Amino acid sequence: MRARNWLIAALFIPTIALALPKESRVPGGVALVPLTGIESEQPPEVRYGKNRVMVVPGTDDRWVAVVGIPLTAKAGEAQQLTLNQGGYSFNIDDKSYESQHLTVKNKRHVEPDPEDIKRWRRESAEMGAAFTRWSEPTRPTTEFTLPAKGPFSSPFGLRRFFNEQPRKPHSGLDIAAPTGAPITAPAPGEVVAVGNYFFNGNTVIVDHGYGLTTLYCHMSRIDVALGDRLETGDPIGQVGATGRVTGPHLHWSVSLNNVRVDPLLFVDGQ
């Protein structure tokens, strides 16, 4: 057996128990979809739209697709998964997220000039490449610890208004903490993007494998470099107030199959 196949077989033996994220079949949530009728020692390749989906062992020797649902998904529209042995569909429920109105002093962070927009587009492409990256570590990550200590100042999914102008929903969780507070890796992973971005300030993206990545924004200091491999609890940097902010905090996003989902679905006890 080739080395790669041996790794996959060793990884996905049915006796391995994974603590799966909490299921929440709503926009911005996670669906756990059993893939019935598939008899294979290796996980099938499943896609949701254009993006590949994490597949892990479930109960009764079944494979389970762990699917991130976009905030733009509409309740009542069947969500389609595709794979070479056929297709699966699942339904979602509606969810209403609260609104948040913020006052931003830097007017360019609300109405960027043409050069700002060019910069933002370059940075968006760089982040997009990180979010769509596919890697296959020995064991999938399916749960996180919190990367910083502090109260949750802005939950995931808020409908946001900056200086009374509507913007995209809040795609992460804000953890309030003073400038200089430590940010640590919530799970093993590889650093795949590092930069100072127009809206996000000092930013790090970590790839945890199988389409699962995490994003850390507004940092005062970055303590990792591109390509660094991290273990749970390793330092990533420090909390700050860089980019578009109203005060120091960590903006933490979780991306699954290139869809931003509620980070707390992956944190035990939250």
Domain ranges of the chain: 3-90, 99-266
The pLDDT of residue 15: 43
- Where residue 69 falls (left for φ over 0; alpha for ψ -120 to 50; beta otherwise) is beta
CA-CA distance, 1 to 65, in Å (whole number)?
26
- Find the range with the poorest average confidence among 172-176, 244-248, 258-262: 244-248
The pLDDT of residue 13: 41
Domains 3-90 and 99-266 agree in fold: no
Q: How many CB atoms lie within 10 A of CB 184?
A: 18
- In sequence order, the β-bridge partners of residue 90 are 79
Beta strands in 111-172 (DSSP E): 152-154, 159-162, 165-166
- How buried is residue 82: exposed, middle or buried, by Cβ count under 10 Å (0-12/13-18/19+)? middle
CATH of span 99-266: 2.70.70.10
262: confidence class by pLDDT, cuts 50, 70, 90: very high
- Where residue 118 falls (left for φ over 0; alpha for ψ -120 to 50; beta otherwise) is alpha
The half-sphere exposure of 114 on its side-chain side, counting CA atoms within 13 A, is 0
pLDDT at 164 over 90: no
What's the average model confidence in pLDDT over 118-135? Answer: 90
Q: Is 2.40.30.170 the CATH number for 3-90? A: no
39: confidence class by pLDDT, cuts 50, 70, 90: confident
The pLDDT of residue 62: 84
- In sequence order, the β-bridge partners of residue 202 are 196, 219
The pLDDT of residue 106: 61
Q: Rounded to two decimals, what is the model's pTM?
A: 0.86
pLDDT at 169 over 90: no
The size of the chain, in residues, is: 270
pLDDT at 167 over 70: no
Tokens of 60: 């009764």
The pLDDT of residue 97: 74
What's the average model confidence in pLDDT over 130-140? Answer: 95
